[in-house]
Structure 1
Amino acid sequence: MTPTCVILDDYQNVALEMADWSSLRERVNLRVSTAPVVGEALIALLSDAEIVVMMRERTPFPAELFAALPKLKLLVTTGMRNASIDFAAAAKQGVTVCGTSSAPGTTAELTWGLIHALTRTIPAENANFHAGGPWQTSVGRDLRGTTLGIIGLGNLGQRVARVGTAFDMNVLGWSRSLSEETAKSVGAERAATLHELLRQSDIVSIHVPLNAGTRGLIGAAEFGLMRPQALLINTSRGPIVDEAALIDALKSGRIAGAGLDVYDTEPLPVPHPLRGLPNVVATPHLGYVTQANYRAYFTGVVEDIARWLDNNPVRVLTA
């Protein structure tokens, strides 16, 4: 019997265009969902699926969802890391979990888009331009000579650091495991502590994964250390920053602004305080949403499904 495959959260309705699915057309029944689905509606959507394709962490897969889907045999996530999957539950139920390759650096590129949007007030000036409003209302901030603090100098943080040095910024890096050698390799200086980085930086950009050690890493105490003109950029995960503390810091002028691509709840509810703050430039989790990345994702998805059907799975994830 031909298995059913459901592709979740294809918001742009492009999954079937971003890869060659022809090899699977007669092997699986493909079904695409283009909007967020939760609760009982999600269980109903997936109830007959042996294969489910996830787009990053848009739809979490906790133990309760696995338990409600006894037919599920293969779960494919785009990328090679997904903190929203309960891997123990998957193993207990005998579900194979596979990942895919990705295009490097896409989130680092968006980080700089948010930085420029904030420092040169691009959204407001663009809105004025298209509305026929006043001409040239703002005085932008220079990057040269200012300090960029990067929390997490892994792959993405290093890419952000190299661009910072190209703009003649002073770059500081910090993480619990960061070495002097790694920092120097990208033109950065290692901050002794997170608090030191926060005190010295004009722009703070977050590039650490969300885990027990980083959840709530930036809270009210940390905002109290930052400069009043400082900007916070978060393209990693929302809960790394205490949301209530962030909103308070932005409303009170404790910091000058924030560039955000990630949130505690996604999609962010419409009646949400962050949507009404003028010193926030925000995007709807676009860090990984690029043509090259989607092609890498869905090409990998096709291969994962084909190899699993051939009893030879690849890129199997266990945690």
Structure 2
Amino acid sequence: MTVRSAWLLPTGQTREDTRLAPLGTMTPDSALASRPGVIAGGAPFAASGASAMQVQVGVGRALVQGTAAQGAYPVTVTAPELLTVADGDAQFGRIDSIVLRVVDPLYDTAEQVAATVEIIQGTPDAAPSPPALPSACLRLWDVLVPAGTSAGVGGITWSSALTDRRRYTAAYGGITPRGGQEPGSYDGQYRDNGAGLDRWSTSAAAWQPLDPVVPWTWVTLAGGYTNNGNAQGTVRYRRIMIAGMPHMQWYGGVAWEGKLPADGYPFVAPVPAECRPVNHVSLSAAAGGACCSVDFQRGGLVRIIDLPGVRTWVSFTGLTYPLGT
């Protein structure tokens, strides 16, 4: 057997089934149901064209949920499966779905128990859509079958025909791998969004991104300036996201003696391009003797505006501004 389910065989699971199948408490979808999906690791159930009308689906592990009363089936595919797509309709295109399916005579009309990788054929239409799936069926891929497609006329263009429909699941409390846009299952669930983490909020009925930990970048001071002005630390900055917009955040202080050095430019180099404001920014800053203005220029340069009474230090702590879009 190359497609097997540890909790389906009528004579009970074998020891090998138990070793291969994804057993354990998975992410809940309700009080009794588990979130169906693919178990991440490598490239589970990868699909590629094998011939004009044949597609190969690779190995992988998954959880296939039936009805709530039926429960979830852990399924493993241990060798690639070769599937044949039926010829296209003469008039309209259609969308077929490659699925992982469990049939169980205790809950459906099947005559025998089986776990399979198969194609469920869609309906030809001027605007085709994927077919509806029966219970205990997990969609892996959609296949676009244009009108008139057959091996005799070149078959399916696999590079553009396949649409990845794999959704992922994880053990309870785990972070759901990237894939799919399904709602979360419970308050406080986490998922990988490809760039960071989202947390599911039941009250908001939405995934909410977590603010990532962004490291600081230290600057090199121009001659005549020293760090830790007024004991406020080494000057540094970081680019952060606030409400979906990039911002610059500064920290630390500079100090000097006598006349403001370097015409008020405390750093030897401009900040990187991705950290420069779209529009010129001027902010008030605490300073020795009196408040002053610090300009953040579009070219990345930073300048302290020399005002009467400012002669000892300037604080960058708390200076935050949007970079614009």
Assess same fold via TM > 0.5.
no
Q: Which has the higher strand share?
A: 2
Specify the TM-score bucket, using the shorter chain as the normaliser: under 0.3
Structure whose CA Rg is larger: 2
Q: Which has the higher helix share?
A: 1
Q: TM-score with structure 2 length normalisation?
A: 0.21
Structure with the larger RCO, 1 or 2 (CA within 8 Å, 6+ apart): 1
